Amino acid sequence: MTAAENFPPQRNPKVVVIGAGMTGVLMTIKLREAGITDVTILEKKDRLGGTWRENTYPGLACDIPAHMYTYSFEPNPNWSHRFAHGPEIQKYFEHVGRKYGVTDRISFNEAVTSSTYNDGKWTVTTSKGNTYIADFVINSTGILHHPAKPNIKGIESFEGKMFHTAEWDHSVSLKGKRVGIIGTGSTAAQAIPEVAKEAGHFSIFQRTAQWILPLGNKEFSEEFKQKLRDNPNRLRRLRSAYVWGLQHLMTKAVTGHQPQRALFSAACKLNLRFSIKDKVLRKKLTPDYAVGCKRIIINKTFYDAVQRDNVELVTDGITEITPKGIRTADGKEHELDVLILSTGFKPFNFMRPMDMRGKDGLHIDDAWSRKIQTYRSLFIPEFPNSFLMLGPNTPIGNYSVIAMSEVQCGYILKVIKRWQRGEFDAIEPKPEAVKAFNEYVKAGMANTVWVGGCKSWYLDDDGDPILWPYTWKQWEKEMEEPEMGDFITEKFPTKIAEATAA
């Protein structure tokens, strides 16, 4: 029996997918495979791709092995490196979009301005003035897509060129310039080695040191790629090896398994010890928190870059930005021609700033005014028939978000299937189920490394990590089937008749 035959044709829901990044493309493919044909996908920009379209900074790469960072149904034997570069990943998603007929169905340059629920229907309005009526809304808006700009005194006064890494200005030449970068996180660790090659003098302003795992970005030969093309089983085995490594080593290391934690801790500490010969510089680069508390950086070029003659690591706090550069706590003014902000994103925006309103006009800002919480990372109380892809407590260690999205997609299709059978017309989580889920997640955090005393984008305003504290296998198992007892469902008498007539 095919997927389409599982779904009664008289209940073909209208679905709006917001966002055409990795998750939006996946949802559109799987909805159509399930026989759901009335799908509208709205994208605010002129191309699909999400984060890989937005970020174009030099050195951009994924920190998940490339052969694992693919859709399970669309393997790619042609990756050029172990950790694929950004342009190559963007090309992969564009290929998938074309191959599966998604690209031609996307309404580009159409940002959602409001999304309002009323009696089993969502009304979605856009920047083009269009209105869409939907039975379900799937928010595939991503996690890290709103750049965070630092609130530093005098930032508007800087007279040189200034831009965020997520808004890289390629018209600005760095050749021979005095360049400064604020931040040393995952993005900066990739960009810094490339900028250091160009800049005349490069000042790196570090607030917090990072732990770095020294895995090189191996380049694959044409011969190797041809072997993968000729032997799909070999490609599957390679992918499986990476999956095993992340599940049983990396993910377990950050979620409370001591042998794995000790292994990664030793690897990062030895990398620092043997890579940085100067003791003063090494001390500056030594974090004061446990390995894994902040996302582990996978990189083999950062330490070499900070030891170049034209590079200065500045650890004195920034007191203000002046027209000519940056003044630090020691009173020194670092004169700059170009200032790069590698200051991360606003991870708690999710679908906002969209004007999203649930039952009785409840605004999402009010629903989340005290704390951002969901049920199973997907459902928000008082917002029926709405799904939030990659919501809070979805991220699982350093695991692939594609795999996470595929599991969530399967869960959503099972919920929609029940709607199609007429079991309900509206579904939302019970408040007690939301409370129980979040208590369960918080209880698991005590064993994780994320509560190891560091400040990171993982933490909400209460200091609670927004990650999943258990293993990948446990999350996968718990997402196999919806627990219908955890939901409030409603039926509207006219819905089935209307759907059948349609």
Peptide bond into 287 cis (omega under 30): no
Give phi and psi for 451, each to the nearest 5.
-100, 30
Q: Which of 382, 353, 288 minimizes the C-alpha distance to 113?
A: 353
Q: DSSP character for 317?
A: P
3-state SS class at 72: coil
Query: Distances in Å between the alpha carbon of 183 and those of 352, 383, 495?
Result: 25, 37, 53
Q: Which of 32, 7, 118 minimizes the C-alpha distance to 499?
A: 7
Whole-number Å distance between alpha carbons of 253 and 129: 49
Helix %, strand %, coil % of the chain (to 5): 35, 20, 45
- Beta carbons of 310 and 199 less than 8 angstroms apart: yes
Cβ neighbors of 59 (< 8 A, separation 6 or more) are 190, 191, 192, 193, 194
**Token pair 């810094």 in the structure block, residue:** 192
Whole-number Å distance between alpha carbons of 68 and 75: 8
Whole-number Å distance between alpha carbons of 317 and 294: 20
pLDDT at 494: 66
**Token pair 């072997």 in the structure block, residue:** 227
Whole-number Å distance between alpha carbons of 368 and 229: 48
Query: Distances in Å between the alpha carbon of 37 and those of 46, 126, 252, 405?
Result: 23, 21, 40, 20
pLDDT averaged over consecutive 10-residue blocks of the chain (502 residues)?
48 96 98 96 96 95 96 97 97 98 97 96 97 98 84 96 97 98 96 98 97 94 97 96 91 88 95 97 96 91 98 97 98 98 86 92 94 95 97 85 96 97 96 97 91 81 88 94 97 60 43
Domain range 4-48+102-145+346-501, CATH class: alpha beta
pLDDT at 8: 47
User: Of how many residues is the chain composed?
Assistant: 502
Amino acid making up residue 91: K
Q: How many CA atoms lie within 13 A of 99 on its CB side?
A: 11
Whole-number Å distance between alpha carbons of 399 and 64: 7
Whole-number Å distance between alpha carbons of 292 and 9: 49
Q: Domain spanning 155-233+247-339 has what CATH number?
A: 3.50.50.60
Please count the other Cβ atoms lying within 10 Å of the Cβ belonging to residue 403.
21
Q: DSSP character for 463?
A: S
Do 4-48+102-145+346-501 and 155-233+247-339 share a fold? yes
pTM: 0.93
Please count the other Cβ atoms lying within 10 Å of the Cβ belonging to residue 369.
9
* Domain boundaries, given as residue ranges, for the chain: 4-48+102-145+346-501, 155-233+247-339
3-state SS class at 84: coil
